[in-house]
Amino acid sequence: MSDESNTAADTSPVLDGVKQAFAPVSEAFKNLQNLQVPDATRDFFKRTATNGKERTADLHTNAEKVTTAIETAVTSQVAEAAKLTRSIQEAFFQDADAFFSGIDRLASAKSLNEAVQIQSDLLRSHSEVLMARAKHSTDYVGKLFTDGAKTAQDNFSRIYSR
* Each residue's pLDDT tens digit, 73-87: 778 778 888 888 888
Please report, rounded to a whole number, the percentage of residues in the chain having pLDDT higher than 90: 11
Asked if 64 and 151 touch (Cβ cutoff 8 Å), the reply is no
Is 24 among the domain residues?
A: no
pLDDT of residue 124: 92
Is 36 among the domain residues?
A: no
Is 11 among the domain residues?
A: no
Is 70 among the domain residues?
A: yes
What is the number of domains present in the chain?
1
Res 133 pLDDT > 80: yes
Supply the range of the domain harboring residue 111: 66-159
Is 83 among the domain residues?
A: yes
Is 102 among the domain residues?
A: yes
Query: Global pTM?
Result: 0.49
Classify residue 108 by its DSSP letter: T
CA nearest 151: which of 78, 69, 82, 68?
69
Q: Which residues make Cβ contacts (< 8 Å) with residue 69, sequence separation at least 6?
A: 155, 156, 158, 159
Q: Is 38 left (phi over 0), alpha (psi -120 to 50) or beta?
A: beta
Is 43 among the domain residues?
A: no
Question: Which of 20-24, 94-98, 155-159 comes out lowest in average pLDDT?
Answer: 155-159
Please report, rounded to a whole number, the percentage of residues in the chain having pLDDT higher than 70: 86
CA–CA distance from 109 to each of 4, 97, 120 (Å)?
131, 19, 13
Is 128 among the domain residues?
A: yes
Res 3 pLDDT > 70: no
